[in-house]
Structure 1
Amino acid sequence: MFLKKTRRDRKEAGLSLVRHEYIYQTIKEENANHNYPVQALCKLGQVSRSGYYKWIKRDIPLNESENKLIADEIEKIHHESPDKGYRRIRDDLERYHDIKVNDKRVLRICRNLNIKSTIKYANKGCTRHAVNPQYIAENLLNREFTADAPNKKWLTDVTEFNYYIGAEKRKVYLSAILDLYDRRIVSYVVRDSNNNALVFETFDAAVNANPDAHPLFHSDRGFQYTNRIFHQKLTGAGLTQSMSRVGKCIDNGPMEGFWGILKRERYYGNRFASRESVVKMIEEYIEYYNNKRLQRNLGVLTPREKHNMYLQVA
């Protein structure tokens, strides 16, 4: 018990120094460059003068040096992607910075640096149900949100984004198809209107890019998906249609989840002043999501890596 307590005390002491490291460093630089009094700088930084001088004269322990290195990289990651929580930061540290560290250590450092991910927001969908739907499919997916190979199960939906021309609010609509095996975005289209053409074009792009694919195709009961022509397009391409039940957003959960991820990480909290800026954000994010964003449910891989690994083994 005594040894465990001692290790914990050393760890907490090291993290405390990480928390004050930047204050002490600033005091040192301001004193050296501008000759500001140490006592006044310590008071401004809310640290003790004795603590500062102790930091100046100390021998830096290995654990503290490691925490400082990790903290520097964490701050860089957080500055570039403030949406990332400590788990995703840890995954990035290992994959992209060759720093192997556990979740708990990253969490402690994040707390000492007061680093938090951006707040989650509830997604507001833009589904418009048909007054007189021409075709309704059964919920064949039945919340089985896994697949044993790419192109076995596709989900789709439409969401909206606002941008502003002066005080006037305008919208663009994003239609996308997501593969349940590797969670990659198979195809997407951005247009100014939420209409049949938007969904049809997204579907055509997915089929053209994957001509041998005949997946189960799941959506909500939006008017585009209950259109008879769309059902004919599906069956003509050899796909089987599935639809969520009325008022059950969770039936299309991973697709709704992707909208939430995209908007939380790149959209909420920003004000887009042109159509071009919001479309560029969407395009760049989907490229990042497919090729750079690590996902633990994929084995800390990106969707593209998961997809390519299957192709290499098959």
Structure 2
Amino acid sequence: NKRVNHKRVYRLMKQLKLKAIIRRKTKRYKPFTPEVTAQNILNRSFNETKKNKKWLTDVTEFKLKNGNKVYLSAIYDLGSKTILSYELSSSNNNQLVFNTLDKAVKKVKNTKGIIFHSDRGFQYTSRSFKAKLKEHKMIQSMSRVGCCIDNGPMESVWGMMKSEIYKGNKNFSFINYELALIELAKYIHFYNTNRITLKMAKSIA
């Protein structure tokens, strides 16, 4: 093996326009034991045309300039292809998803038989959340362990949202919580009312 000065390596890489790809450090989550779980009733059956038949949900996070985070919980209706309800909080807890569900339920007269699909996050595997779904006669469905594609459309919503808000800036962060609330509300309104989807494009054509 030949020893080479790191400055020479850097110079040669610069000439050849090569860049090192540094693998991001994997986040470490605290393990927890689910109180309840459910089968994957949805089973990737994403082709739905009637609204309020299948609801998907998840929580995602956004950074603030001060280093803190805000958490966005949303419920996505597969039939209407819209974000039915959402809730923003500085804490990722049970109340965040409870409030999101309460908002969605208020918009629908009859929730009986709606498939409610989520991942196996601690909020969705609590007995309290299970009881809320049972109260509204909804059918609980959960992604399999490590299979985020089981909740694919919801993941796509998050990806699209961050892509369009961040506009390629990987270090993007909101100035403060209040501005995050305003900007996310504006984007969700845009997503539900003005954004041209593939389905809309076909109808226009």
TM (norm. structure 1) is: 0.52
Tell me which moved more, 208-217 or 197-206: 208-217
* Structure 2 counterpart SS, 1:217: strand
Greater helix share, structure number: 1
Counterpart-to-counterpart distance in 1, 2:101 and 2:147: 23
Q: What is aligned with 1:58?
A: none
Whether 2:192 is the aligned partner of 1:192: answer no
1:245 is aligned, of 130, 136, 144, to 144
Q: What is aligned with 2:44?
A: 143
Q: What is aligned with 2:68?
A: 170
Give the superposition deviation at 1:129: 7.7
Whether 2:160 is the aligned partner of 1:261: answer yes
* Cα RMSD after superposing both structures: 2.0
Q: What is aligned with 1:281?
A: 183
Structure 2 residue ranges without an equivalent (≥5):
1-26
Structure 1 residue ranges without an equivalent (≥5):
1-125, 303-314
* Structure 1 counterpart SS, 2:58: strand
Counterparts of 1:85-104 in structure 2, within 5 Å, are none
1:4-59: CA deviations, max 9, x gaps?
xxxxxxxxxxxxxxxxxxxxxxxxxxxxxxxxxxxxxxxxxxxxxxxxxxxxxxxx
Counterpart-to-counterpart distance in 1, 2:85 and 2:54: 14
Q: What is aligned with 2:116?
A: 217
With a CA cutoff of 8 Å and minimum separation of 6, indicate the structure with the bigger relative contact order: 2
Give the superposition deviation at 1:271: 3.5
Whether 2:105 is the aligned partner of 1:207: answer yes
Give the superposition deviation at 1:128: 6.1
1:157 is aligned, of 55, 58, 62, to 58
* Structure 1 counterpart SS, 2:128: helix
Amino acid at match of 1:222: G
Q: What is aligned with 2:21?
A: none
* Structure 1 counterpart SS, 2:185: helix
Counterpart-to-counterpart distance in 2, 1:202 and 1:127: 26
Is the 1:244–1:252 Cα contact (8 Å) retained in structure 2?
A: yes
Counterparts of 1:35-50 in structure 2, within 5 Å, are none
* Structure 1 counterpart SS, 2:110: coil
Give the superposition deviation at 1:132: 1.4
Q: 1:299 to 1:292 in 2, by over 3 A?
A: closer
Q: What is aligned with 1:233?
A: 132
Amino acid at match of 1:247: G
Whether 2:202 is the aligned partner of 1:295: answer no
Give the superposition deviation at 1:146: 1.7
How many pairs align? 173
Counterpart-to-counterpart distance in 1, 2:32 and 2:83: 30
* Structure 2 counterpart SS, 1:235: helix
- What percentage of aligned pairs have identical amino acids? 47
Larger Rg: 1
Give the superposition deviation at 1:275: 1.5
Q: 1:301 to 1:176 in 2, by over 3 A?
A: farther
TM (norm. structure 2) is: 0.79
Give the superposition deviation at 1:281: 1.4
* Structure 2 counterpart SS, 1:197: helix
Counterpart-to-counterpart distance in 2, 1:128 and 1:234: 26
Counterpart-to-counterpart distance in 2, 1:256 and 1:222: 14
